[in-house]
Amino acid sequence: MTTSIAWLAPICAVIGIAVAAYLANWVLKQNPGPDKMNNISLKIQQGAKAFLFSEYKLLIIFMVVVAVIMAVALSPITALAFVTGGVLSAAAGYVGMHVATRANTRTAYAAETSVAAALNVSFKSGLTMGLCVASFALLGLSLWMILLVFGVDTFDLMHENIGMVEGFATGASAVALFARVGGGIYTKAADVGADLVGKVEAGIPEDDPRNPATIADNVGDNVGDVAGMGADLFESYTGSILAPTILATTFAALGYFGGVVDAVWAVVIPVTIAAFGILTSIIGLFAVRTKEGAELHKALNRGTYVAAGIEICIILALFVAWNSMSVDAQPIWLFGSVICGLVAGLAIGKITEYFCSDKYKPVHKIAEAAETGAATVVIEGIGTGMLSTIAPICLVALAIIGAYTFGNMAFPNAVIEEGGIAVGLFGVGLAATGMLSNTAITIGVDAYGPVADNAGGIAEMAGLPEEVRERTDQLDAVGNTTAAIAKGFAIASAGLSAISLFVSYQATMHHAFDSFELTLTDPLIVAGIFIGAMMPFMFAALTMGAVSRAAHAMVEEVRRQFREIKGIMEYEAEPEYDKCVAISTSSALKEMMTPGILAVVVPIVIGCFNPAMLGGFLAGAVATGMLMAIFMSNAGGAWDNAKKYIEQGHFGGKGSDAHKAAVVGDTVGDPFKDTSGPSMNILINLMTIVALTFSPLFITVQTLL
């Protein structure tokens, strides 16, 4: 049942990789500045590389163990797909980090000329990361689909084989969780130590060379906000493509679509949309231009909007082509499902910008609260984060209802319900695909932020003129907002993808057991809902506690150096940067394992005990996981920009009591926005895909029982 259109995906992925290589080469050809700047950048490069290699050694052990279990319990091909997903995710993160840790000094040097020049270098570095993530993910996933799904003869075999492809998404999600948690613990331990002791106690700037934690802090920007973020979006992007494909193969095997043409198109359309998304992201690159004094955010938004506009036109053309070939259906309505996802994603981005940007009232209110102390900053930030969940959740709900309605309209004669499942749910899966169709440029807009942040640190440590730091701070402030927007996309798409995967799980189990039903009158299912709802809270507690313990060790080490190394404050002695790097590295590697393992083991244990209870577990986890993710990410982003707003000269400016209070709020927000919050969407996706991947094992266990 091979279809030639499916080959567009690997072809576009290869084009994306080629453009990423060109951009990386361009960035590395830029002037890195004098030796003093290069030496600082080299320390950051070495620290980031050492951490990633240590992290990957542990991940290799974990992946080998899980792959062996998969090979025995499921199939060797599923295990191989699992390894492929993990390796490509790690590779994309490493390539992006490699370029970012070299782009930092080049951005700092470009900032001596203008903000526009610095944006050009940092954004091209970010888009290198974005194209690598999207292209690596699409290449691996599409080739597995061509091999196992698109090239088979029957829909039943398609449905059977898609289970092996699910291993790819499981590998991507597992690596993403470890990368996000490990990188988040690393960066926030260093950040908290640098802020609390350097800014608050010693009264020196954030990236002052006298601060022993400053190199570890800059390393953390890369391993957490570049490599970790890349792995995060890699798994979200993979899930957004795979979720509707799984639904399509499931519904095709059950005869829901009615016609062969519609079933084939439904299976290939998600990867096709993603393929064109890479091309439109490349086009969006040329729209990101700015002049000195212009608003940076508008330049970045322009690239996103241009890419989204062209993508919409291409998607419409695809559905028109499908509609012309359909006999009994009207698949043109599915274009509405995709638009629901795209519009919801863009709207959530604007809402996130409102709550996190220093241009709007929520951040101003947090900054104002700093005048009365750290406690009111924390209270106001928590309230802002909670309030910020309302509109995104309502938008996701509307997107689900709208996408489902359009899905049912597309197949008016094929809506067959069995076990409470309707074919219109395919539209919900396509909404997730639409939301993340331009993942490459979304990541590019996000990943430039850590590069700009590092550039500011290098400018400070190298003693560059004050206007250079002011320019990099402009980039960094916008980068904090774009990072929050990217997290909003990932969280919302995770919710839509998780629903699609959840429905696929329900359909698979109902296909195996006619009596399988998810109902609130079953005590086991209700118990599962409560246990699942608890998981994000437990996960947040584990990751926040990990940051707290690592930060405690970092604070003590920074204090020790200030106390024992004479001459640091007078620039007469160099701090022992390597010891702070070692603390962040060892703490992150030690603390990241437990949360990651629990996310894989708990769904398998519950599924073997009772598959219906696992259904309730997944529903509870998705609901609270999305809320926790939005709340923590937005609260953290708002705290960060409230501090920067005060540093611009408001409410007393740098060094004032309000500034010290805002630093405390920002310190609380650090693990919120960079460790626990952004890990939530990975958690719910990972647990859902694990449940679906291991469903054959659950069926076997229940049959034996």
| DSSP letter string, 250-293 | HHHHTT-S-SHHHHHHHHHHHHHHHHHHHHHHHHHHTT----TT
* pLDDT-derived band at 80, boundaries 50, 70, 90: very high
For residues 513-539, average pLDDT:
89
In Å, how far from its chain's centre is CA 532? 21
Which pair of structure tokens corresponds to residue 156? 């039943």
* pLDDT-derived band at 658, boundaries 50, 70, 90: very high
Spatial separation of the C-alpha atoms in residues 342 and 427, rounded to whole Å: 13
- Three-state DSSP at 22 gives helix
Classify residue 625 as exposed, middle or buried by CB count within 10 Å of its CB (0-12, 13-18, 19+).
buried
Which are the contacts of 632, defined by CB distance < 8 A and separation ≥ 6?
385, 540, 672, 673, 676, 677, 680
Classify residue 417 as exposed, middle or buried by CB count within 10 Å of its CB (0-12, 13-18, 19+).
exposed
**Which has more pLDDT, 10 or 257?**
10
pTM above 0.85, yes or no: yes
Give residue-wise pLDDT tens across range 448-464.
878 888 888 888 888 88
Spatial separation of the C-alpha atoms in residues 608 and 612, rounded to whole Å: 10
Spatial separation of the C-alpha atoms in residues 246 and 690, rounded to whole Å: 14
- DSSP annotation of 201 reads I
Question: What number of H helices and E strands is found in the chain?
Answer: 23, 0
* pLDDT-derived band at 333, boundaries 50, 70, 90: very high
* pLDDT-derived band at 484, boundaries 50, 70, 90: low
Which are the contacts of 585, defined by CB distance < 8 A and separation ≥ 6?
47, 50, 51, 54, 186
Would you say 149 and 458 are in contact if contact means Cβ atoms under 8 Å apart? no
123, 133, 318, 411, 420 from 119: Cα distances, Å = 6, 21, 35, 47, 51
Give the per-residue pLDDT at 627.
92
Classify residue 1 as exposed, middle or buried by CB count within 10 Å of its CB (0-12, 13-18, 19+).
middle
- Three-state DSSP at 462 gives coil
Would you say 232 and 176 are in contact if contact means Cβ atoms under 8 Å apart? yes
- State yes or no: pLDDT of 419 exceeds 50: no
For residues 426-430, average pLDDT:
87
Give residue-wise pLDDT tens across range 28-75.
999 988 888 888 888 888 888 888 888 888 889 989 999 999 999 889
Of the listed ranges 69-83, 243-257, 389-403, 489-503, the one predicted with least confidence: 489-503
Spatial separation of the C-alpha atoms in residues 331 and 263, rounded to whole Å: 11
Spatial separation of the C-alpha atoms in residues 120 and 107, rounded to whole Å: 8
Which pair of structure tokens corresponds to residue 692? 């679906």
Mean of the per-residue pLDDT values of the chain: 85
Give the per-residue pLDDT at 328.
78
Would you say 209 and 39 are in contact if contact means Cβ atoms under 8 Å apart? no
Which pair of structure tokens corresponds to residue 74? 């499921």
* pLDDT-derived band at 416, boundaries 50, 70, 90: low
Spatial separation of the C-alpha atoms in residues 246 and 251, rounded to whole Å: 9
Give the per-residue pLDDT at 2.
46
Give the per-residue pLDDT at 209.
78
Which are the contacts of 579, defined by CB distance < 8 A and separation ≥ 6?
212, 557, 561
Spatial separation of the C-alpha atoms in residues 256 and 251, rounded to whole Å: 5
Would you say 32 and 38 are in contact if contact means Cβ atoms under 8 Å apart? yes
Give residue-wise pLDDT tens across range 187-214.
888 877 777 777 667 777 767 778 888 8
- DSSP annotation of 570 reads T
Give the per-residue pLDDT at 258.
66
In Å, how far from its chain's centre is CA 80? 24
Residue in the structure block whose two tokens are 């996310």: 599
- Any idea what the Cα angle at residue 145 is, between residues 141 and 146, rounded to 5°? 120
Would you say 531 and 606 are in contact if contact means Cβ atoms under 8 Å apart? yes
Give the per-residue pLDDT at 371.
93
**Which has more pLDDT, 380 or 299?**
380
Give the per-residue pLDDT at 230.
82
Which are the contacts of 32, defined by CB distance < 8 A and separation ≥ 6?
38, 41, 102, 105, 106, 109
For residues 92-107, average pLDDT:
89
**Which has more pLDDT, 11 or 235?**
11
The pLDDT > 70 percentage for the chain reads 94
418: β partners: 421
Give the per-residue pLDDT at 78.
93
The size of the chain, in residues, is 705
Amino acid at residue number 139: L
Give residue-wise pLDDT tens across range 275-311.
999 999 899 888 777 666 656 667 777 777 888 888 8
Of the listed ranges 96-105, 361-370, 482-491, the one predicted with least confidence: 482-491
Give the per-residue pLDDT at 217.
80
Which pair of structure tokens corresponds to residue 335? 């274009």
For residues 250-269, average pLDDT:
81
Give the per-residue pLDDT at 1.
45
- Any idea what the Cα angle at residue 538 is, between residues 532 and 542, rounded to 5°? 150
For residues 598-621, average pLDDT:
92
- For 359, the enclosing helix (H) or strand (E) is none
- State yes or no: pLDDT of 126 exceeds 80: yes
Q: Provide DSSP, 597-658.
A: HHHHHHHHHHHHH-HHHHHHHHHHHHHHHHHHHHHHHHHHHHHHHHHHHHHTTGGG-TTSHH
Which are the contacts of 541, defined by CB distance < 8 A and separation ≥ 6?
none
For residues 666-693, average pLDDT:
86
- State yes or no: pLDDT of 417 exceeds 60: no
